[in-house]
Structure formats: C-alpha cells, structure tokens
Structure 1
Amino acid sequence: MVHNLYQPNIDFLPKESIFLNISSVEVGKHLYWQIGNYQVHGQVFIVTWLVVFTLFAVAFVGTRDLKRIPENAQNFMEYILEFLQDIAKNQIGEHEYRAWVPYVSTIFLFILGSNWAGALIPWKLIQLPEGELAAPTNDINTTVALALLTSFAYFYAGLRKNGLGYFARYIEPTPVLLPINILEDFTKPLSLSFRLFGNVLADELVVSVFTLLVPILVPLPVMILGLFASSIQALIFSTLSAAYIGEAMEGHGDHE
C-alpha cells in the first residue's frame, strides 16, 4: 500500500493522540499562567483585576463621606444606584427586585468597565512575552462565564421561589413544548455570551483597522461610537439577566 507522503496515516495513530491534536488547536497567542494542573489566560486576569480595582476605588471614593444631602461624587453614585435599581425593578418586579440589585449591578458595572477598558486604553502599546492585553469581554471564556452565572442565578431564583414547582414551567402551556422549553435554557447563555463577545471583538477590530489605515483623527469618532456600543452591550446583558431571573420567579399560577 502506498501512502501520500503529505497526508498523515491516521489509521496507525492512537485515538488519544488524534483528540489531543484537535484539542490543542487555538486561535491567536495567549499568555498562559500555570496554576496547579490548569493553564489560565494571564492577559485576561491582568485586565480583569485592573477593572475590579478601578470599580472598588470609584465606589470607595464615592461613598467615603456620605451626607444627608448628596454632593459631587456621592450624587453621581446615587444616580448610578437608582439607574441599576430601575433595571432590576422593571424586569424582576417591585416586590422581589431588591435581593437581586447587587447581582444585576455587578454584572452591569463589570461589563461596562471591561468594555470601556478595551475601548479607551491603548493596550497594544504594552508588550507581553506572548499574546496581548485587551478587554476581558474580548475573550469568549469571560462572556461564557458571565452567561453561566446568569443561568445559575435564574435557576436558583426559580427553585428558591417556587420549589420543585419551578419545573412545571417546562410543560406550559402544553406538555408538547417540553423539548423546546428545555432547549431554551441552553440557548439563553449561548446568545448572551456570543452577543457580548462578538460585539466587543468587532468593535476592537474596527478601531484597530482604522488606526492602522488612518492613524490621525479618523479613529476618534469610531472610538466614541465604540464607547456608546459598549455601554449598550452592558445594558442589554444586565437587562436580559434580570428578565430571565424575573421570568424564573413567576409562579405556576402566574401564567394562568
């Protein structure tokens, strides 16, 4: 039997090596940190810690000298809090929303801070041994993790509110819709994660291309548009998260 010299003979390769070769395929280069038996993307953690530190610093400055009549930073912080409370209240309901304000607020502020960090800071100027710094939401692992957190949150909310009766929603309004209703729970985190990842990645690519082609003035309006789009993406993700939680907390009798 004559084998093509340029074609590997898969028949004589062990199955384990085939799967290892497939699993080792990746897009781009990354800075990996070895933590025990696991490898994590170091550049994602670096920017994530910077975003979290910035959010803590802003919160500390805005609340360190609280007054009965708010001024300056405190006034700004109270405005942000009211805005985030309105998101939770409108989607979850007036009687149940307070317990979920911290979660919805954290999701919104982290995504907003991450998106703005990618749009405002010229990370490409910082050289790493491998990979490059970018917005944490530019990494599919981050957006999937955030989407899975929302999935766990609305399952927890539904079971805590309705007990095992929560699963009755899968056969409403008719048991025929059981497969579709189950599939919906898988498509929710997929749509959340890929929508956020795709928009952030596309925005950074557009800015990078314009910067390379016309490095003066032209990228500025694109960056401003990117800030607006980044804010919208944070609003969409947090609003949908709150809407899913509110939907899960509806009782069986609420649909009748």
Structure 2
Amino acid sequence: MNYFYFYEVGQHFYWSILGYQVHGQVLINTWIVMFLIFVLGFSTTRDLKIIPEKGQTFIEFLTEFVRDIAKTQIGEKEYLKWVPYLGTMFLFIFVSNWSGALVPWKIIELPNGELGAPTNDINTTAGLAILTSVAYFYAGLSKRGLTYFSKYVEPIPFLLPINVLEDFTKPLSLSFRLFGNILADELVVAVLVSLVPLVVPIPLIFLGLFTSGIQALIFATLSGSYIGESMEGHH
C-alpha cells in the first residue's frame, strides 16, 4: 500500500524535464519576463550618449535607485559589487508582478492550469529567497572567512539554536511574503472582475500595480539588509 500522498493548490500544466515534473505555465511566464527585461536593457543601453535621451535616462535612474538601496543596506565600502544582484532581483520581481496585474493571462487556454505572474507560484518565490540565502552566506564567508560562523554563538553560546533558526526563517519570510501578497491580489481582482466586470476592479488594478512595486522594493531591500548583516557580523 502506498502511504505517500501529494498535495497541490489548483491545477498545473506540467512539463517533464530530465525526469522531473515542473510547472510549465510558470516557466513560460518566467521566460516572457526575462525576454522583456532583456529587450528593456538592450534597447536602452545599445547607444549610450553623454546627454542621455528618454530610454537612457530611465535606465540610469533605475540604476541609481538600486545603487541607493545597496548603499543604504550594505554600506559604502561593499555595496557596489552587489548592485547587479539586487538590481536583477528588483527588476525580475517588479516586471513579474506587473505582468500579473496588467496582462489578462486567463484568456490563454492551457491543457491544465492557467498563466499568471511567475511570483504567484511559491516555487518561484522560494527559489528567489534561496538565492538570497546563498548570497548572504557567500558575502559573509568571503568577507570574514570561517569566523563568519562565530555569529551563531554571539553574544552567548546558549543562543546557537535561535541564531541557526533565524537563517532558516529569513528565506521563508521572503518567499511567503511575496507569494502571499501577489496571489491574494490576483485572486481579489479575478473575483471582482467576474462579479462586477466594468467599474469596481479598475481602482483595485491600480492598487495592485502599486503594491506589486512595493513588494519588489521590499524584497530587494531585505536582501540587501541580510547581505549587509552577514558582512558586519552582527544581527
């Protein structure tokens, strides 16, 4: 008798890759988001000028915005090399969230499941959170060497279990915060569109766009904060 059971939320369009089953609709939208970011980056940086035009002005503003986040959270000495990582996280989450709020994915029919923002799938947000965990462990070890692990027994060795648990709760909080907010926003808009399709959902869509941007900012800011903490050697 098979005592193992598998649970899932909703239906999914599965692909089999190297013997593993993956959510195909998430990969499709992830590739779309990455393509949009590539087009944005290429079109705004292929012809850089001393006096920037509209596209170059936008990308320079975005770069300065991410640099300010990195400098505030990591510090002036170490922040510069983390700008690409934080910028990638911010852009990917921002475009993913907005794609779910703006694009009517549900009109595209799939054999199972439905398209939506990549960030409304817990697998995507958990993967992003794990990347941040790897980043702050790498930052701490590269900066402090093996003395990085001394933080687990500071200020007293009795706190070792709590300090270890904290490193597990950081990615959990990052992933569930982003996943929960984006999923809830899409569900609310979908329900209201089905009930009152003309007027009521419009303000909620604009509110969803605002909260989607805020969630991208929160994720990038917290990622920078965790990286900064790991290099400083204190919580």
Q: TM-score range by the shorter chain?
A: over 0.9
Displacement of 1:183 in angstroms is 0.5
Size of the alignment, in residue pairs? 235
Question: Take 1:204 and 1:27, find their aligned partners in 2: how far apart are those partners?
Answer: 15
Question: Take 1:233 and 1:34, find their aligned partners in 2: how far apart are those partners?
Answer: 31
Match of 2:140 in 1: 158
The worse-fitting range, judged by mean Cα deviation, of 170-179 and 196-205 is 170-179
Residue type matched to 2:29 in 1? Answer: V
Q: Is 1:18 matched with 2:14?
A: no
Question: Take 1:215 and 1:251, find their aligned partners in 2: how far apart are those partners?
Answer: 53
Counterparts of residues 75-224 of structure 1 (less than 5 Å):
75-224=57-206
Identity of aligned residues (%): 67
Moved over 3 A (4+): none
Q: Is 1:39 matched with 2:21?
A: yes
Match of 2:213 in 1: 231
For 1:161-207, what per-residue CA distance to the aligned partner results, in whole angstroms no more than 9, with x for missing partners?
00000011111111121111110000000000000000000000110
- Pairwise CA RMSD of aligned residues? 1.0
Q: Is 1:65 matched with 2:47?
A: yes
Question: Take 1:36 and 1:173, find their aligned partners in 2: how far apart are those partners?
Answer: 47
With normalisation by structure 1, the TM-score equals 0.90
Displacement of 1:25 in angstroms is 2.3
Residue type matched to 1:237 in 2? Answer: F
Question: Take 1:25 and 1:199, find their aligned partners in 2: how far apart are those partners?
Answer: 22
Residue type matched to 2:8 in 1? Answer: E
Question: Take 2:209 and 2:157, find their aligned partners in 1: how far apart are those partners?
Answer: 45
Q: Is 1:48 matched with 2:48?
A: no
Question: Take 2:85 and 2:120, find their aligned partners in 1: how far apart are those partners?
Answer: 21
In structure 1, list runs of 5 or more residues that go unmatched.
1-12
Question: Take 2:233 and 2:92, find their aligned partners in 1: how far apart are those partners?
Answer: 31
Question: Take 1:250 and 1:42, find their aligned partners in 2: how far apart are those partners?
Answer: 41
Q: Secondary structure at the match of 2:3?
A: helix
Question: Take 2:155 and 2:3, find their aligned partners in 1: how far apart are those partners?
Answer: 46
Question: Take 2:201 and 2:18, find their aligned partners in 1: how far apart are those partners?
Answer: 42
Displacement of 1:251 in angstroms is 4.2
Question: Take 1:26 and 1:171, find their aligned partners in 2: how far apart are those partners?
Answer: 39
Residue type matched to 1:236 in 2? Answer: I
Question: Take 1:76 and 1:195, find their aligned partners in 2: how far apart are those partners?
Answer: 28
The worse-fitting range, judged by mean Cα deviation, of 175-184 and 223-232 is 175-184
Q: Label 1:251 to 1:185 Cα distance change in 2 as closer, same or farther (>3 A).
A: closer
Question: Take 2:109 and 2:162, find their aligned partners in 1: how far apart are those partners?
Answer: 48
Work out which of the two has the higher radius of gyration on C-alpha atoms and give 1 or 2: 1
Displacement of 1:224 in angstroms is 0.2
